[in-house]
Amino acid sequence: MGRRPSAHGLRMKYTFILRRLLSVVPVLLIITFATFALMQLLPGGPLAAYENNPEISQKDIERLRHEMGLDQPIHMQYWAWLKNFAQGDWGYSFTTKRPVLVEIWDRLPNTLYLTGISLIVALIIAIPAGILSATRQYSLFDHITTTLAYVGRSMPVFYSGLLLIIIFSIWLRWLPSGGMHTLGKEFSLIDSLRHLFLPVLSLSTLIAAKYVRFLRTSMLEVIHLDYIRTAAAKGLSERVIIYKHAFRNAAIPLVTVVAIDLPVLFAGALFTETIYSWPGMGRLFVDAATRFDYSVVMGIVAAIAFLVVVSNLLADIVYAILDPRITYS
């Protein structure tokens, strides 16, 4: 498959990748500075919770402000953060006083577990469903799939999730309403899967609905192209035409969307995590933001920004593998 790239082409490829990687630096600078500035513009701060407590005197608040370095000018605080960050020191959380990396590391596996499985389940559902509903356009299957995709896409998780909990946990009592496993019990795979079921159902429905619609549209475009008709005229079986010739081309937009979604794996799914009390990254971020825990927020934002740039690059590379006509420039 594909042509063998020339030496010139290879060099082009590497300079392209290098250039794209270097572009991470200004992007990170802009995003982290904007985040930092925006957080400073908000009223309140890490010490806001202390202000309404008669037990804590103004003197104590001023002392803490100084000890935490919050009395420094904003640009100095940002510079201090940036300097440490560049050296791999992500700083300490203002509230838990633990290293930011430890905070993230504690949550990341939980989030990857949930989002990773959801993405795989979503693809398993979306790819065949998308292909079939395109090849059998206007069939009953197509109508059902399209309708479900619309419903799945437009029903927010904080609604559908609560509905699922009410049905499966409160009425039927089949599945637990939240958490990663039953507290106080030995770890067991079955228990873990039971807890995984509803969150994965919610999250993968949402993702699959989006992918089905993408795939259906691009399949429809492709199967009406001349080369597919040619392939059919050559007498190739429908199976080969659809999966080898049509799908390969129709998958390109899907690959882009999936690749761009990858940072979400890391960032976590806020609503799903909240409804099912899943201890993941999404909740860490929101908790940190509401507590004005600057260092944690900055750490997560920087990491996601980096991943967004990298995954976009990844999308472009995969793109070129799937479609040799695309060149790097």
| Contact set for other proteins, span 113-142 (CB under 8 A) | 121, 124-125, 127-129, 132
Q: List binders of other proteins among 189-208 (CB under 8 A).
A: 190-191, 193-194, 197
> Nearest approach, Cβ of 307 to other proteins (angstroms)?
20
Say whether 183 sits in a helix, a strand or coil.
coil
Segment lying near other proteins (by CB under 8 A), choices 92-100, 245-253, 295-303, 308-316: 92-100
Task: Give me the least distance between CB of 29 and other proteins, in Å please.
Answer: 28
**Binding-site member from 9, 69, 116, 179 for other proteins (CB under 8 A):** 179
The amino acid sitting at 55 is E
CB-wise, 25 or 71, nearer to other proteins? 71
Q: How long a stretch of residues is the chain? A: 329
Give me the helices (H) in the chain, please.
Answer: 7-22, 24-41, 48-51, 58-67, 74-86, 100-135, 140-154, 157-164, 189-223, 226-234, 238-240, 247-267, 270-275, 281-290, 294-322
Per-residue mark of binding to other proteins, 205-234 (x: CB under 8 A)? ------------------------------
With b meaning 16 or more CB within 10 Å and e meaning fewer, what string describes 152-175? Answer: beebebeebbeebbeebeeeeeeb
Long-range contacts of 65-74 (CB under 8 A, 24+ apart): 68/94, 70/45, 70/46, 74/36, 74/37, 74/40
> Positive or negative, the Cα torsion across 201, 203, 206, 207?
negative
Q: Name which of 129, 82, 43 is nearest 298 in CA terms.
A: 82
- Of 7 and 172, nearer to other proteins (C-beta) is 172
Site string for other proteins, 258-277 (x = CB under 8 A): ---------------xxx-x
Give strand pairing partners of 99.
92
The answer to whether 283 contacts other proteins (rule: CB under 8 A) is yes
Binding mask 68-87 for other proteins (x = CB under 8 A): x-------------------
Stretch in the footprint of other proteins (CB under 8 A) among 160-168, 222-230, 255-263, 310-318: 160-168
Instruction: Give residue for tokens 């976009």.
Output: 312
Contact between 51 and other proteins by CB under 8 A: the answer reads yes
62 lies in the binding site for other proteins (CB under 8 A): yes
Q: How far is the CB of 25 from other proteins (least distance, A)?
A: 31
Q: Per CB under 8 A, does 165 bind other proteins? A: yes
Of 18, 19, 34, 60, the residue at the interface with other proteins (CB under 8 A) is 60
Number of residues that bind other proteins (CB under 8 A): 73
Structure tokens at 164: 């699922």
Radius of gyration, CA atoms only, the chain: 25
Stretch that binds other proteins, among 20-28, 83-91, 279-287, 315-323 (CB under 8 A): 279-287
Tokens representing residue 202 in the block: 């919610």
